[in-house]
């Protein structure tokens, strides 16, 4: 029983570290691409700030942060998907764009895996949510 608990703890910590590292990686990439001379540059800075803030809130050691971690996970997932879609529709096709998008795709996968770890099967989550409505 203790081995299972230790593995569960290792998985939880590993996924949280991966979420933070991936979020901060794409934050740094967007920050490097940003600037104050154009609207696009400001948008990159905004993206960098958004990823960094959400990563910080995700691991915040305060009780309200733990209680609403599901909401932070959902916000980070939506933010990453919006960034990916924005790049697909309007982004320039150069190396840093591909790198940032690849990091964001992996981030989405890790966030989904963490969500399944915490909340279980997405179909069951949907049924529970519809039963509450």
Count of structural domains, the chain: 1
Torsion sign, CA atoms 44, 45, 46, 52: positive
Whether 124 has a pLDDT exceeding 80, the answer reads no
Tell me, what's the pLDDT at 78?
Answer: 96
* Residue 120 phi, psi (nearest 5): 90, -165
Whether 76 has a pLDDT exceeding 90, the answer reads yes
Share of the chain above pLDDT 70, in %: 92
Pick 110 or 124 by higher pLDDT. 110
Instruction: Tell me the CA distances in angstroms from 65 to 60, 76, 121, one per residue in order.
Output: 6, 14, 23
The whole-number average pLDDT for the span 64-69 is 73
pLDDT tens digits, one per residue of 23-39? 999 999 999 998 888 88
The whole-number average pLDDT for the span 95-124 is 91
CB 54 within 8 A of CB 23: yes
pLDDT tens digits, one per residue of 37-46? 888 889 999 9
Whether 65 has a pLDDT exceeding 90, the answer reads no
Whether 104 has a pLDDT exceeding 90, the answer reads yes
Domain around 112 = 2-132
């Amino acid at each position: 029983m203790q081995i299972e608990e230790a593995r569960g703890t290792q998985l939880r910590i590993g996924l949280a570290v991966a979420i933070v590292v991936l979020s901060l990686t794409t934050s740094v990439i967007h920050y490097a691409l940003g600037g104050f001379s154009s609207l696009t540059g400001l948008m990159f800075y905004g993206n960098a700030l958004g990823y960094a803030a959400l990563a910080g809130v995700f691991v915040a050691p305060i009780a309200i942060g733990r209680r609403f971690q599901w909401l932070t996970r959902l916000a980070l997932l939506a933010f990453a998907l919006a960034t990916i879609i924005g790049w697909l529709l309007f982004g320039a096709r150069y190396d840093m764009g591909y790198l940032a998008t690849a990091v964001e795709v992996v981030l989405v996968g890790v966030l989904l895996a963490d969500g399944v770890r915490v909340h279980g099967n997405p179909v069951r989550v949907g049924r529970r949510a519809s039963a509450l409505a």
